[in-house]
Amino acid sequence: MNQTATQQGHPKGLYVLFATEMWERFNYYGMRAILVLFLVKAMAFNQDAASQVYGSYTGLVYLTPLFGGYIADRYWGNKRSIIAGALVMAIGEFILFFCGHYYDNAALAMPLFYTGLGCMIAGNGFFKPNISSMVGQLYKKGDSKIDAAYTIFYMGINTGGALGPIVCGFFGDTGNNGDFKWAFLAGGIAMLLSVITQVIFQKKYLVDADGASIGDAPKGAPTLFLKIPVMVGFLFLLSVVTIALVYIDINVVSYLFWLLIACILLIAFIIFSDASLDALEKKKVAVLFTVSFFVIFFWSAFEQAGASLTFFASENTQRDLGFYVVPASFFQSLNSIFVVTLAPLVAWVWIKLGKANREPSSPFKMAMGLMLLALGYLWIATGVKGVGAGIKVSMIWLIGMYMMHTFGELCLSPIGLSLFNKLAPVKFASLLMAVWFTANAFANKFAGVLSSLYPDGKTTYFVGYAIANLYDFFILFVIMAGAAATILFLLARKLKTMMD
Ligand code: GLN
């Protein structure tokens, strides 16, 4: 996080990408804020099933970018992919709006729900990787402002992430099941604003440092495929495939977990068996795989936000302020609010430590991130210890936990990502980025599995660990993240030597 560079001028294109991404994240996090509440309250899913849907949905949201990035590089270019993906996500939200309208007619609402979800997954796959890669393309290679540009872009992500749950929660999470549809509509409108921003400003402002257009389709790409209606049609086909994937995973056989492991193993095999890489490069790649492994434990506990922690906000948190009952969905904006407010503080600490020559290594910072996550869960576990079923605790527990989790995110997430940029051999840069996304996909899927353990009166077991109440549930995450943090602290020095 380079603070001085933010004072220098950035290209206007950065702010076009900022606004486009902000509206998209508004849509994603706004919809996610009410998703499990909608499923449980309106669609009569039990918490277990709603958690599974959440895991498969968010898992695939992180997997389709592999495909979207690949197609854009070879055929569509970033610009058109962003517009097509954004349009399909807007359509997805409008389909979910109808699903929300007909929620009490399961025969109609169910197919609409899965169709809408499929569009969100397919659209995101073409939006997210392409918009992220355009940020860097605005600058000359090696420009020192690129780091600051990504920091500003991250603020755009979190401005959307803060506003989405509040606006969608305000209109949709009212206690009346018929109102959830307004949250989907708000998400759809936000997505249209994202499309409009692109359509108006893309051509003029998305240019490189010399003023040449960036993110266009590669020369020689078949022109028929470059018409927006054809692209949207293609994404619909993809959404049908993803709907089938989610549906089969939830209702027929749970395969997604294994598929993701197989993907990572296959990529590891491809890279490690490549004779053109020398031992030093392979060591660096080994660091990236190790880091990805630990990151899984982070995100699978962190992403409880959209599932079990929202059940907790809804059922076990005292939200009545006397003059206003805070909707449970609002709590999902806390992470983003804390990112925007705390990121400068964390950046300042690293700079201060850097000046004193005491800045921790990247693996050590990531271990700190995991430890902060464990502490957040320890905090909330303290809040529910000995509290009887059905009693609501103060919202201070949830708020404090989200603050600690955000400090953890700020230690781990930007650092993990930049490690990939620094350590990946050029030849395998994209494939290793795919490992990072697949680790995220796996973590989100796993988050759904863990959320399904949310206590409902019966004792459940997770690899021998008994969960009878909320305290046991939260302690599971303390153990998981705490153990991962401890092992990573122990490995940090060794990983550091492998990186240099
Ligand atoms: N909150 C960030 C985003 O939405 C990062 C999430 C992640 O990497 N899992 O882009």
- Is residue 461 classed as helix, strand or coil in its secondary structure? strand
pLDDT at 162: 98
4 — pLDDT class (breaks 50, 70, 90): very low
Indicate left, alpha or beta for 235 from its phi (over 0: left) and psi (-120 to 50: alpha): alpha
Is residue 440 within 6 Å of ligand 1 at its C-beta? yes
Q: Which of 3-12, 248-257, 491-500 has the lowest mean pLDDT?
A: 3-12
Average pLDDT over residues 50-60: 95
1 — pLDDT class (breaks 50, 70, 90): very low
Bridge-based pairing state of the strands 465-467 and 460-462: antiparallel
Average pLDDT over residues 22-33: 98
Average pLDDT over residues 13-26: 98
Distance (Å) of CA 257 to CA 45, 260, 262, 267: 22, 5, 9, 16
Residue 291 has pLDDT above 60, yes or no: yes
* 18, 25, 135, 155, best to mutate for ligand 1 pocket (most atoms within 8 Å of CB): 25
Distance CA 25, CA 27 (A): 5
Distance CA 114, CA 96 (A): 9
Nearest-CA residue for ligand 1 atom 6 is: 413
Q: How confident is the prediction for the chain on average, in pLDDT?
A: 93
Residue 259 has pLDDT above 80, yes or no: yes
Is residue 132 within 6 Å of ligand 1 at its C-beta? no
pLDDT at 421: 77
Average pLDDT over residues 87-112: 97
Distance CA 195, CA 189 (A): 10
Tell me the CA–centroid distance for residue 25 and ligand 1, in Å: 9
CATH of residue 114's domain is: 1.20.1250.20
Report the percentage of the chain scoring pLDDT > 70.
98
The contacts of residue 32 (CB under 8 Å, 6+ apart) are 58, 165, 306, 332
Is residue 335 within 6 Å of ligand 1 at its C-beta? no
Q: Which of 24-28, 91-95, 213-217 has the lowest mean pLDDT?
A: 213-217
Distance CA 55, CA 62 (A): 11
Residue 2 has pLDDT above 80, yes or no: no
Is residue 333 within 6 Å of ligand 1 at its C-beta? no
Tell me the CA–centroid distance for residue 240 and ligand 1, in Å: 25
Residue 277 has pLDDT above 60, yes or no: yes
225 — pLDDT class (breaks 50, 70, 90): confident
pLDDT at 144: 84
- What tens digit of pLDDT does each residue of 458-484 get? 899 999 999 999 999 999 999 999 999
pLDDT at 343: 95
Average pLDDT over residues 444-464: 94
Average pLDDT over residues 438-449: 95
Tell me the CA–centroid distance for residue 444 and ligand 1, in Å: 11
- What tens digit of pLDDT does each residue of 173-222 get? 999 999 999 999 999 999 999 999 999 999 999 999 999 999 999 888 88
Residue 7 has pLDDT above 60, yes or no: no
**Per DSSP, what are the bridge partners of residue 213?**
207
Tell me the CA–centroid distance for residue 33 and ligand 1, in Å: 14
Nearest-CA residue for ligand 1 atom 4 is: 157
Contact criterion met (CB below 8 Å) for 61 and 444: yes
What predicted TM-score, i.e. pTM, was given to this entire model?
A: 0.94
8 — pLDDT class (breaks 50, 70, 90): low
Average pLDDT over residues 136-142: 89
Q: Which of 23-37, 186-200, 268-282, 418-432 has the lowest mean pLDDT?
A: 418-432
Query: Domain range holding 20?
Result: 4-499
pLDDT at 227: 86
Nearest-CA residue for ligand 1 atom 5 is: 413
User: Looking at the 3D structure of the chain, how many domains does it have?
Assistant: 1
- The number of residues in the chain equals 500
pLDDT at 419: 87
284 token code pair? 């660096």
Residue 371 has pLDDT above 50, yes or no: yes
Residue 82 has pLDDT above 50, yes or no: yes
Residue 224 has pLDDT above 80, yes or no: no
How would you class 419 by CB atoms within 10 Å of its CB: exposed for 0-12, middle for 13-18, buried for 19 or more? Answer: buried
